[in-house]
Amino acid sequence: MVSKADWEIAPIHIDPDTTEKLFFTDHEWDTIEAAAARIMPTDHDPGAREARVIVFIDRYLSGIDYLYAAADGSGFLQLADKDAHAARARNANMQRLYREGILELDTKARELRAPSFKEASDQIQDEVLEQISGAPKPVPVSLTSREVYYSRLQGNTDEGKSFFDTLCLHVRQGFYGDPVYGGNKDQMGWKTVGFVGPKSLKDTMDGTYSTAEFFIQEYDWEDLVPGFKHSQDPTSNQQQNGQ
Amino acid sequence: MKRKMDPVDVVIVGLGAGGGPAAKVLSEAGYKVVGFDKGPWLRPEEHYSGDELKFQNRSYLWPDVNLMPRTVRSDDKSEARIFNFSPVPSNVGGGTSHMAGWMPRPRVSDFIFHSLHGELEGASLADWPYRYEHLEPYLTKVEWSYGISGLAGADKGEGFRSKAYPSAPLPPTSFGKKFYEGSNKLGINSFPLPMSHLTEGNALGRPAVNRTSFWNQYGDPTQTRSSVATTYIPEALATGNFEVRADSFVREVKVGKDGKATGVIYIDPSGLEIEQDARVVILALGAIESARLMLLSSSNKFPDGLANDSGLVGKNATFHEYIFAVGLFDRDMEDPLHGWTGNYQSGGSTHFYETDESRGHIGGGIIATTQIGQAINAIMPGRPTWGQAMKDADRDYFDYSMKIGFILQDMPQETNRVDLDPTVKDAWGMPVARITNKPHANDIAMSKWQIDKNQEILQAAGAKKTIPVYLGDEFTGNACHQQGTVRMGTDPAKSVLNEWGQTHSVENLFVLDGAGFPTALGVNPTLTIMAHSWRCADYIANIYMKGRSERLNLSPIKKS
Ligand SMILES: Cc1cc2nc3c(=O)[nH]c(=O)nc-3n(C[C@H](O)[C@H](O)[C@H](O)COP(=O)(O)OP(=O)(O)OC[C@H]3O[C@@H](n4cnc5c(N)ncnc54)[C@H](O)[C@@H]3O)c2cc1C
């Protein structure tokens, strides 16, 4: 068995501008690109289309070669044994989900008298997405309404989600994920929301990338923690009193 | 035919927070120790970086639910479904390889919960078989060897401490500063919670903290966040007495005719089944998996699972659901809060830790303001999921929201438990852990009161809108804290372990993770797990291995 600690790195790099399709057919590519552009639209900031979310999704669906970038971004990890097995089974399901989902997008678009989803107007595309999501198109966040939520798992995998929810999650991932995976071209997604991310994954490994500048630079614990008295030497062996 | 390895003094199963200190203490005491972990031995400087997709969405470190499933149901009548309940990474280092890093101490009251509160209907409250003062020296040992930063004396309700921290806390983040402002307006004692990293100029002389902000759920490539894989495991190896066997799944603890454990059977990386004999067997697989392995290890002598004569193995499980409130701030009025910066957590409080029955529940816990996360998974409950509304929400609030989380101290209940799933098997062909759990009414009441309090703090800090996230009908295991399952106590009819983590019925079998905790604590458990493991390993090395035994005499509790 090849331990996860020793997975090989395949030195593959993804060109965000590529039009080479590894999984999608031409039609499927255009359809998902169009849907992604309704999910993360373009306005005065770039959207899914400009950030090349489609390349990200195509690579992910193509198999398991693009599942995990090497830590420093120098290529992609080649899974082995049990992990590869489980990942391939998951990928096969994901491929099926997309192929069926794309058929549904077209079917629904034709019911609304468009030739296909990709050729439909923005408005009809939105209507189709509303239908497959089973809910009206989301409205802006209101600061006055009150909602209540319940806890859920940390982390957010695409396991067991519907086609629509999967697509929305993948669009987010392709828009905001590290550019090494093919989306988030030129860090467009990060710039849109103000996330000052690393130039490269490698920069996160050796301290080159840091958020130190965002810490409060001038502060005094005695102000922030009223009633606290700093001892002269913070590492002294002095006994601190409890109740 | 099964292969057999040369016998050793001690076998440790699981090299996470519980296994790490035991490996260090016992190998430093001169015993031959072999440690097993079913996961790989990753190399931080080579395998970890700030890749949100890989660590948070594609579960590079979390167990693959298809390979290591668990099942969950809310009571005996409902059907269990496969769910990644309480996922903790499987690798040398266990949960310490990616944990957020809150390292608060437990409190004096935690150890005498039953004495303080008596019976709570539907719950199984218990005192610990030892007290805070018995653990204090070990809490200090861990703080000073593992490497923890904090501000001694800033938590006004903390128990006695014999030494300050080796390292000062990090500066506050922007959202941390807001948290202090909100708390101070309401007269709430807040302070920089201790964290498992060292800052510049620390007394241990080790490298200072990584400030990439890729923290909770990420591995740390710089190794400046403490992990047992970069502290206790190397220290144990340096003695020459310790061996790590990674990628080795332990599937059974063997028992001899005399009822003592003789060692373990494991499946090595090439798939071979191998026996490893030892004088002492220590389990530290995490409370869910330790209970599972005991149940898997049934024999003629223990038909219902190893050391399970009380029938309690797996029962009284507690999981500490993580709940929180998020505040949205007005970007036209405020400076950005940069909720994605810092080192996950920036300021917290134990002001509402101790019981105040006027709140309508007993117990309490710790709160802290934490990152909302990087851009893919930034936490904003109810964010529109697509379209212009989503894009606007991301743009407006990614930098203008903050979160205050709460570690819910759930009450132990005998019916909340771990047993073996009758149908679902893992990638090694063994029955998986089935979790049965339903919150106690006290848990629901605590959830409501505490999260509403967190909303008040957010409002005092200036939030325009607050969004509560309460405990639901079932635990999701999202805190990834596991306690209880193999209770410690003084009475063998009511507990499985004694005060040294030693099973009452198999004298050379010890369980040294959170499984022994009779109550959940109101703090994150890992510092306590480590100190507890160290204390018990000290006993094994200095008393048990020398053929002696000892019991603690607890003085009666003085009620104030
Ligand atoms: C995202 C996240 C954030 C967290 N943040 C905090 C925090 O801020 N503060 C805090 O106190 N706690 C935190 N925790 C919890 C912390 O990780 C756990 O409390 C701690 O790791 C438990 O220690 P343990 O020794 O019981 O188990 P683990 O650390 O889980 O170690 C158990 C080890 O046993 C191995 N194992 C299991 N079964 C077998 C088997 N059959 N054979 C061989 N090996 C086996 C596993 O692979 C694992 O490596 C966090 C957890 C998560 C997931």
User: Is A69 within 8 Å of B465 when comparing Cβ atoms?
Assistant: no
pLDDT band of residue A241 (cuts 50, 70, 90) is very low
Going by CA atoms, what residue is nearest to atom 46 of ligand 1?
B90
Residue B117: φ, ψ to 5°: -115, -10
List of residues 6+ apart from A85 with CB closer than 8 A: none
The pLDDT assigned to B69 comes to 96
Helix axes B19-28, B526-542, angle to 10 degrees: 30
Q: Give the ranges where B343-440 is alpha helix by DSSP (H).
A: 388-397
Q: Are strands B401-407 and B465-470 parallel, antiparallel or unpaired?
A: unpaired
**Chain B nearest-CA residue for A222:** B154
User: Which position has the token pair 């144990």?
Assistant: B236
* Residue pLDDT, tens place only, B431-453: 999 999 999 999 999 999 999 99
CA–centroid distance for B517 within its chain = 11
Residue of A127, A141, A156, A191 best to disrupt the B interface, most CBs of B under 10 A: A141
Q: Which of A200-214, A228-242, B445-459, B481-495 has the lowest mean pLDDT?
A: A228-242
Does position B111 have pLDDT exceeding 90, yes or no?
Answer: yes
CB distance B193 to B168 below 8 Å: no
Smallest Cα–Cα separation from B140: which of B127, B154, B150, B130?
Answer: B150
Q: Are strands B509-511 and B3-13 parallel, antiparallel or unpaired?
A: unpaired
DSSP A188: H
Residue B531: φ, ψ to 5°: -65, -40
Which ipTM was obtained for this model? 0.95
Q: Give the ranges where B166-221 is alpha helix by DSSP (H).
A: 174-185
Q: Any residues with Cβ below 6 Å from ligand 1, and which?
A: A 154; B 13-19, 36-39, 88, 90-91, 94-96, 98-102, 216-217, 249-250, 284-286, 289, 293, 480-481, 513-514, 524-526, 529
Residue B33: φ, ψ to 5°: -125, 135
User: Is B170 within 8 Å of A89 when comparing Cβ atoms?
Assistant: no
Other Cβ atoms closer than 10 A to A27: 13
* Rounded distance between C-alpha atoms, residue A129 and residue B390, angstroms: 14
Record the tokens describing residue B268, joined without a space: 């090595």
**Chain A nearest-CA residue for B212:** A210
List of residues 6+ apart from B399 with CB closer than 8 A: A193, A194, B331, B336, B337, B338, B339
* Residue pLDDT, tens place only, B537-559: 999 999 999 999 999 999 888 76
Smallest Cα–Cα separation from B245: which of B3, B11, B541, B9?
Answer: B11
Provide the whole-model pTM.
Answer: 0.97
The pLDDT assigned to A216 comes to 97
CB distance B292 to B249 below 8 Å: no
pLDDT band of residue A223 (cuts 50, 70, 90) is very high
User: Is B222 within 8 Å of A219 when comparing Cβ atoms?
Assistant: no
Helix axes B174-185, B441-460, angle to 10 degrees: 100
Is residue B444 packed enough to be buried (19+ CB in 10 Å), middle (13-18) or exposed (0-12)? middle
What number does the ligand 1 atom closest to the CA of B293 have?
Answer: 41
What number does the ligand 1 atom closest to the CA of B250 have?
Answer: 42
* Rounded distance between C-alpha atoms, residue A209 and residue B335, angstroms: 23
Residue A189: φ, ψ to 5°: -65, -45
* Rounded distance between C-alpha atoms, residue A121 and residue B369, angstroms: 44
DSSP code per residue over A131-154: HHHTSPPPPPP-SS----EE---S
Does position A235 have pLDDT exceeding 90, yes or no?
Answer: no
User: Which position has the token pair 């949205």?
Assistant: B328
* Rounded distance between C-alpha atoms, residue B93 and residue B41, angstroms: 8
* Residue pLDDT, tens place only, B69-98: 999 999 999 999 999 999 999 999 999 999
Sign of the C-alpha dihedral computed for residues B443, B444, B445 and B448 taken in this order:
positive
Record the tokens describing residue B135, joined without a space: 């653990």
Among A224, A229, A238, beta carbon nearest to B172 = A224
* Rounded distance between C-alpha atoms, residue B332 and residue B100, angstroms: 32
* Residue pLDDT, tens place only, B365-412: 999 999 999 999 999 999 999 999 999 999 999 999 999 999 999 999
Smallest Cα–Cα separation from A139: which of B376, B397, B326, B387?
Answer: B387
CB distance A94 to A66 below 8 Å: no
* Rounded distance between C-alpha atoms, residue B369 and residue B190, angstroms: 10
CB distance B159 to B108 below 8 Å: yes
